[in-house]
Structures are given as C-alpha cells and as structure tokens.
Structure 1
Amino acid sequence: MNANSKHALIRGTDQPLTSLNPNAIIHNTPLGSTLGIPGRTLPTVPRITRVPQESPPKLFTTPISTIPTIRQHLNKTTKPMIDQNLTQSLKNNMNIVDDKKNDGRHHYQSQSEDMFVSTINPKIDPTRRHQFAPKQAFKYERSSKQAFKRKVPISNWTKILIGVGIFFGIAFVTAAIIIPVILVPILTRTTTTTTASTTDVTMFIPSNYWTSCSASCTNVTTTTPSTLLASWKFENNLLDSANSYNGSMSSVPSYISGYVDQALIVNSVQYVTVSSYLSFFSRSFTIEAWIYVTSLISSVDYGIFGQYQAATTRQWLFCIIRSNKMFFGFFNDDVGGSTTLSTNIWTHVAFVYDISTNTKMIYLNGVLDGSTTTGSSYQGTTGSMYIGKSASGGSVNPLSGYIDQVTISNRAKTACEILNDVTLVSYFSFDNVTTDSGPNTLSSYITLQSNSGVSFVTGRVGQALILSRTNAFFQTCGYYWLGHNNRAFSFALWIYPISAGGTILHLSSDRSGSGSWCLPKLGFSSNGSIVAQSWSGSSVVSVVGPQIPTNNWTHIVQTWSSTSGLRLYINGGLYGSFTMTTYVASNQNMCIFLGTSGFGTNCQTLNIIMGSYSGRIDEFYVYDRELTENEICPLAHPYN
C-alpha cells in the first residue's frame, strides 16, 4: 500500500470480528429500534458488543477510496430520519481528530463501549462491516461542525459603516432616477425652445380668449365720409378735401411741419376766410381741430373757428380761448372749459352740439372739459366761416400759433369717437387699398418696382396685404407723437407669416428706414419667437414672446406708457412686460415700415433679427395712447 495515499486509521484488525476477541458477541438487532425510529421495522443488522481484552488490538489502515458511502444504501423512506439519528449517534460516540502530523490521516476513537458499525447493504462482507462506520461518522461530524458554527456579533462601528453605505446607496439610486426622469426632460425642453421649428408650434391662447369683449372705444367707428361736411388738412393749400368749402387768405399763407404732415401758421394778419355758407341752423354738429398755441394772454380772447351773422343771441357761433381756457357758444348762450391750455404743444379741441339733448360740450385732448344744457340751438342762417379767428371784426383776436386738421361733421360725436379722433393716429384695413381709414388720412407708400411682391389676398377681416418678395414693404409717414419723448403709444395688427423671420414693424426718423433714430419695433428672434422692442434712451429693451405658428393668423399688440412700461399682447391677452419708465424719441415726425427695416441696417436692435418679413398683414392700427386689455379685446376678436 502506498504510504503517501490517504488512509483511515481504525482501531481493529482485518480479521473477522470473532477472531479479534473470542468473547465478542454478535447480536442481530432490528435497525429501526437501534436508531430510535418508531413504527419502522428495518432489515436486521448485526450489533457488536465489545468486551474488555487483555491487550489492545493492532492498528490497521484502509484507503478511504475503498469505503462506500453508507447514505447510498439507505431506503428512500427512512433516509431523512436515519441521517438525523445517525449523525447524533455518531457525534455522541466518536471523537474525530484531524492529525496532520500523520500524513493527513484521521484517527477515530471510540468514546463508548457500544458502537454502531454495520450497514444495511447485505452484499457487503460482514467481516468488514466495522470499516464503514468510522468513514460515515467522519462525514456527518464535519456537517455537524458546520451547522453549529458560532455567530460573530456586529460592532457599533460596523453598524455605522453599514448605515453610511445604505445612505449613499439610496442617494445614488435616487439620483439615478431624478436625473433621467426629471432633469433630462427639463434640459431637453430648454434646448427644444431655442431650436424648434415653427411648423409644429401651438398658437398661444390667453386665459381671456373665450371671454366676451366688453364695450370699449376701440369697437366704434370714427369719421366717415357720409357724416363729414368739411375737412381742411392744410397740406400746403387751403382746400376742403371733403367738399367745396375752400378757404382764402388776405396774404400768402405760410406752412410748417404740423401734427400730420403740414400745418397752417396763423396770427393777427394770417387767418382763413370761407365765403361759402355751411348751415349749422337747428342741427347737431361737431367741430374739431389740432392747435399749437405759441403765446397766451389771459385777458385776450383768441379765435379758433367761427361763423358770424350778427352779434346777437344764437347768431354768432364761436369756438375761442378765453382766460386761457376753451370757450364755446352761440353768443349769450355759452359754455366754458375748466382746463388751462399749455403753449408750444399740439392740443386737440372738439366742440359738440347735440340737438336731441340740447347739450353743448367741450373736449380737450379727448376728455370732456365742460358742458351745458341751457339755451337752444344755433339760429344763424347766413354768414362766412373763419379758421384761426371767430369773426371778421370784434374784440376776438386771431389765434397766435399753428392750426391743423380742421373738420366739421353733421352729427354729435360720442365721447369714444372723440377719443379715437385724438388718439387713433392711423388705421389701415388693407381692403384692396393702402389708404388710411383713420381720422388723419395719413399718406402711404408701397414698393415701387414692377412685380414688387406687394398685393392683396384674403385677410383676417376682408382683404389683407401680402409681402411675398425680399425687400417688399409698406410705408407710412407723418407720426408726430411717435417722435416725442415719453408719449404713450400702441401698435396693433394681424400677421400671417409664411416663415417666422424678419422685421414686421420698423420705426425711423427718415423715409429710408435709417436716419438719426431707427429701431425695429416688432419682429422675430432667431428661433421664431415674436419680439417687441423699444428705446429707453440708453439701451434697447425688449419683451420676447412665444414662437408664432406659420400659416396661421395671430394678433399682436405692443404698448408703452410711463406707468405700465413695455407690454406685449398675443391674441388679446397680455403675454409679458418690461418695466420701462422713459421713452426717448427723435423729436421729429416718424415713418413706419411694415415688412422690412428698409435701409436701416445700422439701426439699434436687441432680439429682433432684422430682415424681410414674408407673409400677410391685416387691420393695422396706431394709437397715441396705451390701450388696455379691455380695449384690445375687440381688435383681437373682430367678429364677436
């Protein structure tokens, strides 16, 4: 036998058991009762009772490889119970010592006089039955030692480290969820906002979009040809543009830059006489004018308009300045205003008589300044009219200053109509015409070359102007208040962009689009967002609105006032604003471009990318005041 091979040392010999000790007695005992299995009768196996000997037996070795495993021969029904009892029995009766000094051999020593050393396999040689018990005992003893290992207690520091590890593990998992689920969509949305095409842009719908519009002064008509009796614009002439009530002067008339284009200079020797009779007899009427007074003396009366038949009651119609305030009447049947006039500034005055209520009213800059219901209607049936004076003689002096846009209507205008006559600077409907339908009838121009790219198509209301070629434009000039500091204003229009880019509305002091003062007021940013801009005197300020969908109608309004700042309205609702208390202008009459910045390539800008706008424009309004949201509503909902 090879000495280096693994052996099991067993106390005994390789002789038959009876030859080891003649006194040994072999008993046939049922295995079930030996293992303590109740109710089970197993094959009978021998049991050895060892008796004391005079001398110890010799040690012998048997290779482990020759020892079969006893568990392979157990009955399937009794195997679990046998394993449990066999393990406990061998543990109580055998002491296993792992002696590495003896070439890795294992010594098995009996701790009791009785020892189970048999097998249930009848094919095994009975003389070798004692060789299997130690092998099986060794196997079960090792399993028992592993099962009874002592648990090591966990220290406090270990617990702390485990807790810290759990905390950071939870934090890592939370971050792994938050970053892809929350942060990534936010970052993606921000990126999309700056690069998205306007093809799929959703129209901005304000919260008040479906609310019915309240009554306001923007949904009423102004001066119409059917009610206009006379109109003198003084564009280098004294002609009546509405009828044939042309004027004359005793000297050569002089003109100056007026509220709209040109104005007439009036003084003690320069005033207009209209010889043709226009009847005011027993009827309602409205007389309006823009005046620029250069000097006032409180003790002097200054004439603005008059019709003189006689210096008797209700036969002398006059509109004058008395005690530096407005004064209106029919001679001994009069009404005075309450506001002191300012000099060296354009002021709108209106004198209204309503025969249905027998009311005389004075309006100053669109606001009612005085009224009365006493007296009766005007009774004069003859007499000339005077502009810049109230009569050919008498104590009333001619006006000292300028006069412009004098009109006479054959009805009593409402307060809203008067307000619009003062503050609605221009209105272009683009219903197959480019003329101004507002009270001032401003001049306008379009691209002059053939195939200019300017034409009329179906609009948001009636027809619309379409700009379909590069550098196609619409232009109108003569905006007095847009050229003066800190004067409130509003722009309103419908747009139908073919592509979201370019300048929509450009303001300049020169007809070229350039000049000493120029700025794109409405246009598109680089990503198709609508932008409103203005000038504070030191920098361009802007309100950036939403991206505007192409091939759809969108209503845009820009307003400014010293109290509300710069505001941008989309489809009738306020989208955004910027605090801006001052508006610094050019002190010149201004020109407006639609569809381009003209030659104003050197103009200031912030977010608007200047260039040609391609698309339709409709219902363009310019106001000399800040429109409120209630007033914007009917402009954004023209069919409500």
Structure 2
Amino acid sequence: MICRVSIIVIVLVICSVAIILPPLFLRVFRQNSSSSSSVTNLFVSACSSETCIGKETQYRTSIITALYPFDGNMNDLSGYFLGIAYGLPIPGYTTATNYIRQSIDLDPTNQQYIRISYINLNQQSFTIQLCQCGSDLICLSISIRNFRVTLSFDSLRSNVSTLLGGSILSRSYWYHLTIVYNAVLRQQLIYINGKIDAIANDVTPYQGTSISATTYIGLSSSINYPLSYSHGFIDHFTISAGVARTACQIYNDATLITYYPFDTTDALLDRSVNLIHGIAFDLTTVSSGRLQQAISFKINTSYFQAQCFPTICPSSVPVSVSP
C-alpha cells in the first residue's frame, strides 16, 4: 500500500478580459492489478465517463458518516467519531509516500492500530473500509489476505462465507478499496480502483447489534487469523452507514482527483473526496455558466490556482484535465 507520490501544480492564469471558465475536472485513469474476476462487464454497463460526470459524492453531507483524512491527526471531519491511536509507539504520519497530503503509517511490530466509537451497521446498507468487532463476537472484517481483499460479516465463525477479491494486489502501490453492502439487493461488493472486483449475492445483512462494539482500523480478528495488525499506509478512510454508494460514485471517488464546479456557493471548493480547494484573485461568479454558474476573469491579473495533486502509481497512468 506504499506509493511514491510526486507533486503536480496546475495554475490557470488568464490574461484576457472577461473570460468565463466552466467546471474543471482532473481525473486519473487507473490500471487494475492482475485479476481473475469475471465481473468486469458489470462495471462497464453500470458506469461510463458519460454517465458518471455530475454524480460525484457530496462529502460533508449526510451521505458520509465519518471521514478520516489522517492529515497529522485522527480527527473525523464529521466531528462525531474521534479516533484514538494505540501502539508503542503510537502510529505516525508520513508525507513522503502520501496519497493526499499526509497518511497514517501502521507498523505491526509495534501493534499499532486506531479505535473509533461504535457505528451502527446492523441490518442496513453501507459503504465502508474497516474491521469492526463487538462484544457479541459478531465481527465484520475487511482485510488483505494473501494479497487479496477479503470480506466477512462474521469472521470469528467458520461456517460463514467469505467474499474473496479477484485481483492480486502488489506491494508498494496505492489502491483505492471500497466495500459495499446493498441491503435491498442483498449483495456484497468489493471495488478496487473504482471497478468491481468481486460480488456475492443473497447475503444476509450484518447482524452485529452490540452498542458496546468498537471499530478498529489496522487491527482484525478471524477464525484463521486470531489477531492481525496492518502493515502499510492508510489514507482517506470513510464510513457511510445506511448508504450503498453507486458504481458511479465509487468510480469518481477512485479516479476523480479534483472537481471544481465553480458555482455560486463555495465557488473555489473541490467537490471530490480529496478536498483540494483552490484559491483565486479578482474573480466573480456569473449565472450564465455552461453548467449552472461559472467564474469570470475580469482583468488580466485574475487567476484561479489549485495545487498539490497526487500522482497515482504507476507513473504511466494517464491523466485527463477537462474544462
């Protein structure tokens, strides 16, 4: 889960008068790791570049229960689920190989992990990346075993099926991992880099009901692995209780590095998960944009600037910038 990250700076300096700039997208087209999955066509039919634009996840809304950027602290941006670090020493943060800004660095030799308060996932849809164990010993576990993503709704019992991802993950690369349970369709889904990697149908909802349950990041237990600690980096960890995020939302979360709609409300904010907000000088917002509103450059010194975009490994992955 480690990746070299270089810095890209994009500065839009407009030297003409009264130029109107439409929404700006920066997207990375990722390559999947080696996969034996047979569900690739499900992604193709569910999401394309034409259908996903404009269907970005609106972070800082009710769709996100908890969001941990791990930028030098354990804070949840929703303000409700502060993380507590454990280990000797406790885990640190790194900027040398970070995904977006900083990321948390977990070392299993120091038994490092993070604990957050109980988040109810019982009998409902959710989109999540975590290991959750309650005192009732019904443990929802998401982990990487033998280089594959593994999902179990009751990891401490041997008679419960486990969904195994189709892709073989490589060392020293960042992966965007998403786990979804759709309570209406009774489906478990694993996504890697925005594309469906594995799916299981007719799955009973997660049954953990203990209010004393605790959510762990970097620590898991199962019938075959009594106690395991994560080794590597974790960044932008999110929990969406009650929400089965759509294929398009997940694809955008994985590949859309920034999205600036340039609308009247918070015109310079990045609407992607990465929250790389822009700055500007001498701009105005006009109502006659191509999509809703737009920003207007009034004088030859007007500009919009955004920077510190990550390069997603491998470095040969193509990048698209679309105004």
Q: TM-score range by the shorter chain?
A: 0.7 to 0.9
1:281-296 matched pairs, under 5 angstroms: 281-288=122-129
- Distance in 2 between the 1:375 and 1:311 partners? 20
1:39-54 matched pairs, under 5 angstroms: none
TM-score normalised according to structure 2 size: 0.73
- Distance in 2 between the 1:317 and 1:455 partners? 49
SS at match of 2:295: strand
The match for 2:157 is none
Match of 1:407 among 226, 238, 241: 238
How far 1:483 moved relative to its partner?
8.8
- Distance in 1 between the 2:252 and 2:316 partners? 20
Corresponding position: 1:363 with 2:199: no
Match of 2:276 among 418, 442, 446: 442
How far 1:214 moved relative to its partner?
9.8
The match for 2:92 is 254
Match of 1:322 among 145, 152, 165: 145
**Runs of 4+ displaced beyond 3 Å:** 391-394
AA in 1 matched with 2:303: F
AA in 1 matched with 2:164: G
Change (3 A) 1:222 1:482: same
Q: How many residues align?
A: 257
- Distance in 2 between the 1:464 and 1:455 partners? 8
- Distance in 1 between the 2:244 and 2:128 partners? 9
How far 1:454 moved relative to its partner?
2.1
Change (3 A) 1:255 1:363: same
- Distance in 2 between the 1:472 and 1:335 partners? 53
Larger Rg: 1
Cα deviation 1:433-479 (Å, max 9, x = unaligned): 211111221132223xxxxx223222222322222233332222231
- Distance in 2 between the 1:371 and 1:399 partners? 24
AA in 2 matched with 1:328: L
Match of 2:120 among 251, 262, 279: 279
- Distance in 1 between the 2:143 and 2:313 partners? 29
- Distance in 1 between the 2:92 and 2:301 partners? 38
SS at match of 2:249: helix
How far 1:321 moved relative to its partner?
0.8
1:392-471 matched pairs, under 5 angstroms: 395-409=226-240, 410-432=242-264, 433=266, 434-447=268-281, 453-458=282-287, 459-471=289-301
SS at match of 1:339: coil
Cα deviation 1:319-352 (Å, max 9, x = unaligned): 0011210001112242111111011111010111
- Distance in 1 between the 2:306 and 2:221 partners? 37
SS at match of 1:385: strand
- Distance in 2 between the 1:214 and 1:347 partners? 20
- Distance in 1 between the 2:208 and 2:76 partners? 22
Cα deviation 1:136-184 (Å, max 9, x = unaligned): xxxxxxxxxxxxxxxxxxxxxxxxxxxxxxxxxxxxxxxxxxxxxxxxx
The match for 2:303 is 473
Cα deviation 1:371-412 (Å, max 9, x = unaligned): 112441111123111112225996242211100011112311
1:489-528 matched pairs, under 5 angstroms: 489-493=319-323
- Distance in 1 between the 2:161 and 2:222 partners? 20
SS at match of 2:243: coil
Flag structure 1 segments of 5+ consecutive residues without an equivalent: 1-212, 289-304, 448-452, 494-640
Corresponding position: 1:236 with 2:72: yes
RMSD: 2.4
How far 1:310 moved relative to its partner?
4.7
SS at match of 1:490: strand
- Distance in 2 between the 1:482 and 1:355 partners? 32
* Kept after mapping to 2: 8 A contact 1:446/1:475: yes
- Distance in 2 between the 1:472 and 1:252 partners? 46
AA in 2 matched with 1:472: S
TM-score normalised according to structure 1 size: 0.38
- Distance in 1 between the 2:199 and 2:312 partners? 32
- Distance in 2 between the 1:356 and 1:325 partners? 26
* Kept after mapping to 1: 8 A contact 2:67/2:236: yes
* Kept after mapping to 2: 8 A contact 1:329/1:335: yes
Change (3 A) 1:483 1:353: closer
Q: Which has the higher contact order (CA 8 A, sep 6+)?
A: 2
What's the % identity of the aligned pairs? 29
Change (3 A) 1:483 1:356: closer
Cα deviation 1:557-587 (Å, max 9, x = unaligned): xxxxxxxxxxxxxxxxxxxxxxxxxxxxxxx
SS at match of 2:253: helix
How far 1:366 moved relative to its partner?
1.2
The match for 1:513 is none
- Distance in 2 between the 1:364 and 1:442 partners? 22
Change (3 A) 1:392 1:354: closer
The match for 1:152 is none
The match for 1:266 is 106
- Distance in 1 between the 2:148 and 2:312 partners? 27
- Distance in 2 between the 1:231 and 1:342 partners? 26
Cα deviation 1:525-563 (Å, max 9, x = unaligned): xxxxxxxxxxxxxxxxxxxxxxxxxxxxxxxxxxxxxxx
SS at match of 1:216: helix
SS at match of 2:123: coil
- Distance in 2 between the 1:216 and 1:374 partners? 28
- Distance in 1 between the 2:215 and 2:221 partners? 8
AA in 2 matched with 1:430: F
The match for 1:293 is none
Change (3 A) 1:321 1:462: same
How far 1:218 moved relative to its partner?
2.2
* Kept after mapping to 2: 8 A contact 1:333/1:374: no
AA in 1 matched with 2:118: Y
